[in-house]
Structure 1
Amino acid sequence: MPFTSLRPKIKTILANENDEIDSRLTEVCELLQTNIGYYDWVGFYFANEAEKTLHLRAFAGEPTDHTVIPFGKGICGQVAISNSNFVVPDVSAQNNYIACSINVRSEIVVPLFKDEKNIGQIDIDSHIADPFSVEDERFLEWVNEEVAKIL
């Protein structure tokens, strides 16, 4: 896994205060999407608590129509409520799944906490069935901890 080699690169991207936060988030998405073969789409959604919606703020991969997701809808919306990681080995087996692309076979969503509050999440789609491991979860939790430091 390239996780170990990606950590210092992510720290460098996030530490670059010359770039806007959204640019740094997009750069992190691009780094993950281009360096991890089964990360076909990577995005950060952030919560609007008043509206109970998630809003796409940065991503890498194919454009999506799903830029606003209601809490509870799809995998991302469920994570907004559960505050827990959600690994979906086979999206076709989920009845509350929002299809972003016919090529997506699996998904992992990890909540992003700031001051112990779920403020968003990182969402990864893969065109491969069941590629995500516990190592992916721990790595993405670490990514979110690093992102929270700049928010």
Structure 2
Amino acid sequence: MFVGNDYSLDGKVKYDQLVGQLDALLTGEKNKYANLSNASALLNQFFDQVNWAGFYLMEDGELVLGPFQGLPACIRIPLGRGVCGTAAKHKESIIVPDVNAFPGHIACDSASQSEIVVPLMKNGVVIGVLDIDSPVLNRFTEEDREGLEQFAKVLTKHI
């Protein structure tokens, strides 16, 4: 059963169910693009007030657009630039309550007001980032960060 926006469940339970759904959905499939595509679709359905959910993948020292749900996006992001490049460079998740206040923010969609980015790590190396944007200020919480970091750990087993 897909959890989606069932507000009767607390956040940790919802994220535990989301991560379980992801693992079940991707088990047995080896193609990373198929798995990233399904993961972005799952995230798009899970969150309310989100206008972009997807991935950037490391390629030749920069982030390159991967599977996503939302409007067309920036194709290449150098390490250290914007929220995605900063999260990848520092190997840590970033919650941005107001993207317009983030130094060097790269505006791919002018409707985006807040953002969360979680690095995808394998053997201590950043292989990409999970990026979710919202048209609402202060959309993402520490609970979202914790849940999405678990999501990223399970996802990286399948890519």
Query: Is TM-score (shorter-chain normalized) higher than 0.5?
Result: yes
In the TM superposition, 1:111-150 aligns within 5 A as 111-150=119-158
Q: Residue deviations 1:66-124, cap 9 Å, x none?
A: 12111111111111211111110001112210001111000111111101212211011
Q: How many residues align?
A: 147
Match of 2:53 in 1: 42
One-letter amino acid of the structure 2 residue matched with residue 85 of structure 1: S
- Contact 1:71/1:77 (8 A) holds in 2: yes
1:55 to 2:64 alignment: yes
Q: What residue ranges of structure 2 are gaps of 5+ in the alignment? A: 1-10
Report 1 or 2 for greater relative contact order, CA contacts < 8 Å, sequence distance ≥ 6.
2
1:105 to 2:105 alignment: no
Q: What residue ranges of structure 1 are gaps of 5+ in the alignment? A: none
1:20 to 2:28 alignment: no
Shift, 1:16, TM fit: 3.7
TM-score normalised by L of structure 1: 0.90
Match of 2:3 in 1: none
- Contact 1:3/1:139 (8 A) holds in 2: yes
Q: Which runs of 4+ in 1 moved over 4 A?
A: none
Q: CA RMSD in A?
A: 1.4
